[in-house]
Amino acid sequence: MEIIAYAAAAFIGISLGLIGGGGSIMTVPVLVYLFGTNPLLATSYSLFIVGSTSMVGAYSNYRKGLVSFKTALLFGLTSISTVFLTRKFLIPLIPEHIAQFGSFELTAGILTMVLFAILMVAAAVAMINSGRNKEATRSVGKTELNVPKLLGYGITIGLATGLLGAGGGFLLIPTLVLLVGLQMKEAVGTSLLIIALNSLVGFTGDQGHFQIDWPFLIKVTAIAIAGIFIGGAINKNIDGSKLKIGFGWFILLMGILIITKELILNN
């Protein structure tokens, strides 16, 4: 099982290198179901793993001139602060035992995984649709910057990242393309920088709330980062749109299985 778990950690980075995102949505399920990590602690670990791997990806895109720092900082005004405040003050307020429905007990762990599964389903649908609709991957040209809407999206993505430890790239990329008018490749690079900043700053908000197993966390993170370079090498010979559709269906299936396990099999 441990070998499978570390292989899955590598797959997180490989998917990031292949399609520029999506792999982070698997981090929490891998930590919870394969490594046996507590769900709330897994969201904290996920922030560090996703943040570190995304920073490596962002640096690679920066060297190619595919990162808009102005957009990343503007978006970060709300998203980064929302992530930090969520991890620092909101997460500690979540009780372990939330509610009782007959024989079913809703715990913080179950709620975390169900919400995460819902996010997985949303991410899967977005990946499948973007893979099928190649028009969505083209540049929309320059558009008038809607700052209030951009800041609103920043808060939404910050909450999702803070609560669930997911990067939110499937939400970020369409936002950067449609609201900011970035080229698709530049949107991917900028998205990785925003995800890295969101996740790593959010992780700092966890300090004092969890006991971190640093050797384990560094090991998993290093494997995921190595996966980025493997994925980047493979990406040169694979149709990214077809790959995104296949990965989207896989994420959709995993989301449904998690909901079934947590709400039905645990009952």
pLDDT per residue as tens digits for the range 67-83: 999 888 888 788 889 99
Model confidence pLDDT, tens digit, residues 136-192: 444 445 556 677 777 888 888 888 888 887 767 767 877 787 777 888 778 888 888
- Tell me the C-alpha distance between 29 and 3, whole Å: 16
Please give the pLDDT value at position 138: 47
Q: Which residue has the higher pLDDT, 216 or 13?
A: 216
Report the b/e string of 66-95 with b at 16+ CB within 10 A: bbbeebbebbbebbbebbbebbbeebeeee
Dihedral angle of Cα 108, 123, 194, 237, to the nearest 10 degrees: 130
Please give the pLDDT value at position 239: 66
Task: Give the model's confidence band at 19: pLDDT under 50 very low, under 70 low, under 90 confident, else very high.
Answer: low
Percent over 70 (pLDDT), the chain: 88
Model confidence pLDDT, tens digit, residues 21-68: 666 788 899 999 999 999 999 999 999 998 998 899 889 889 989 899
The total of structural domains in the chain comes to: 1
Question: Over 70: is that where the pLDDT of 240 sits?
Answer: no
Question: Over 70: is that where the pLDDT of 267 sits?
Answer: no
- Tell me the C-alpha distance between 48 and 43, whole Å: 9
Please give the pLDDT value at position 42: 92
CA 76 to chain centre: 16
Whole-prediction pTM: 0.82
- Tell me the C-alpha distance between 49 and 43, whole Å: 10
Please give the pLDDT value at position 139: 46
Question: Over 90: is that where the pLDDT of 242 sits?
Answer: no
Structure tokens at 31: 């930590």
Please give the pLDDT value at position 221: 95
Task: Give the model's confidence band at 97: pLDDT under 50 very low, under 70 low, under 90 confident, else very high.
Answer: very high
181 backbone φψ class: left, alpha, beta (φ>0; ψ -120 to 50):
left
Kindly report the average pLDDT of the chain as a whole number.
83
Please give the pLDDT value at position 21: 61
Structural domain boundaries enclosing 230: 2-265
Task: Give the model's confidence band at 134: pLDDT under 50 very low, under 70 low, under 90 confident, else very high.
Answer: low
